[in-house]
Each structure stands twice: as structure tokens, then as C-alpha cells.
Amino acid sequence: MSLTDEQLERYSRQILLKEVGGKGQKKISEAKVFLIGAGGLGSPAILYLASAGVGTLGIVDDDVVDLSNLQRQILHSTETLNQPKIASAQLMVSKMNPDVKVNTYTERLNAENILDVIKDYDIILDGSDNFPTRFLVNDAAFFLKKTLISGSIFRFEGQLTTLKPHDDAPLPCYRCLYPEPPPSGLVPSCQEAGVLGVLAGTIGVMQAAEALKEILGIGETLAGRLLIYDALEMSFRNVRVPKNPTCALCGPKPSITELLDYEISCSLPSPPDDSLDA
């Protein structure tokens, strides 16, 4: 597949980069990226991946656009209120870049369907809003040997890492970093705890940057590192994330050999002021 004159012009500013060039642009246009969620993180990631010319975007979200989403979910607009988020996402991407093919999925991901849904994609971006999905996506990505770029946000703080435990180098999965989700008793509610809208932008855009680097095979990704961003301090910190030699999923003696569905719990007798969930 060669680039048309219009594509050469559209992508000229990144083709100019020697790390990209025409060859890299072709890699981008042949890439298939799957996004878990078209919300706070998914919105900016989808917009930048689409504008960069990623050939195929798969998007799963079972929600509709709510007025309270628009403070940070910049894929959606007042015009698309009450519409399914995937329809709103598809509309915005088609306006921005008709080169991009968008596949949409409205089913809630579970142990039954996730492998089938994500199997044809190269890279998975997790922008989900709950722990059960995050652990499910991690396990599925591990079983299918897919690179997973995990972003999460809470109030003024964000976390980002790239997970490729299938790599030859010993690199961690999400369970090497956090072995298990919080028990449901410690997760106060599914209502959002509040988040600064631009925080979603910062982390979501960095997820897109990691995806483009993975597609192009350039630079140093966050594989083996966790980036912590504090918007109040305006600080970025890295900590090391080694592969856990006793990881229940990707270790040499795994106890998790098939997908598990964790229950999404929304109730607690007396929620504490702060939660570890968002």
C-alpha cells in the first residue's frame, strides 16, 4: 500500500521526522489499535491516534454520552448527548480523518467475549474506569501476547505504564505491579470521585504517544516503568516495575490459567471518605 498525495500532505509533519518517514507512516496506517473505553482517557487517545492516521481503531464502550462527561471526554459534544459513546466517537473520527476505519463494540467485556473481540488488534489501550475490567484486560492481553498500554486517573493524579510480558526481555504484566484488585468491601462506589478534566487529557495523550512508539518501534517506552503524574505538583516521577518471578499470571508457575470475571461491586455499608477506586 502506498501513500496518496493527500496522505503525504496530511501526515507531512510527522513524515518529516526521520524516525517516522514514509515507511513509518505506512506502519501507522497498517496498525490496529483497540481502545477500552471512549471516556476521559479514550477520548484524547482516539483523537490523536486517528489524526496520526492509525489505520484501524477498535473501540468498546457500552455507555451513552452524559452531560457530566463533557468536562473531560472531548470526543463527545453537546450535539451527541444521550447517543451511544461509540456512535459519537465514530462520528468525530470520520470528521477528523476519513482514512481511519473504526470498529465499534457495545457489549460489556467479560471473560467470555474479550479474547474474540481483541484478537485481531496489535496494541490495546486501557482507559477503563474499574478494576475488574483492568484485570480482565491484562489477563486477556497476556494470553494473546498483545502489548497493553495502561492509563488510569484519580482526582489530580495519573498513572501510566506499558505492559508486554510476552517480550523476550523479562518485562512485567499489570499483576506484577498490582497482584490483585481491591476487595469489593474497599471499593466504595461506582460513582466517580471527581477528576480534573485536563488530567484525562494528559494521560490519554501519553497513552497515544506510547502506542505510536510501539507501532514505529522507536524510542524507549514505559515497559518496566510506571509513570506517576501529579497535576497539583506538576511533577512526573518514574518507579521501576520489575517482572514478578512469582506472578500468578505471567510467572513460571502460574495459578491463573484462564480468564476470571471479578464482580463489579457498587455498594458498601459505610463508605470511607476516600477510595482507592475512581
The binding site for another protein (CB under 8 A) comprises: 36-37, 39-42, 126-131, 134, 151-157, 159, 177-182, 192-193, 195, 200, 226, 228, 230, 232-233, 237-242, 244, 273-278
Q: How far is the CB of 241 from another protein (least distance, A)?
A: 7
Q: How far is the CB of 90 from another protein (least distance, A)?
A: 19
**Which C-beta is closer to another protein: that of 219 or that of 242?**
242
Closest CA to 132 of 278, 264, 277: 264
Q: How far is the CB of 167 from another protein (least distance, A)?
A: 19
Pair 57, 37: CB distance under 8 Å:
no
Pair 19, 217: CB distance under 8 Å:
no
CB environment 233-256: b (16+ within 10 A), e (fewer): eeeeeeeebebbeebbbbbeeeeb
Residues 6+ apart with CB under 8 A from 158: 151, 152, 199, 202, 203, 228, 229, 231
**Which C-beta is closer to another protein: that of 93 or that of 241?**
241
Q: How far is the CB of 42 from another protein (least distance, A)?
A: 7
**Which C-beta is closer to another protein: that of 50 or that of 200?**
200
DSSP category for residue 195: B
Pair 154, 278: CB distance under 8 Å:
yes
Q: How far is the CB of 115 from another protein (least distance, A)?
A: 21
67 three-class SS? helix
Q: How far is the CB of 39 from another protein (least distance, A)?
A: 5
CA atoms within 13 A on the CB side of 20: 16
**Which C-beta is closer to another protein: that of 24 or that of 37?**
37
Distance, CA of 23 to CA of 20 (rounded, Å): 7
**Which C-beta is closer to another protein: that of 111 or that of 228?**
228
**Which C-beta is closer to another protein: that of 90 or that of 150?**
150
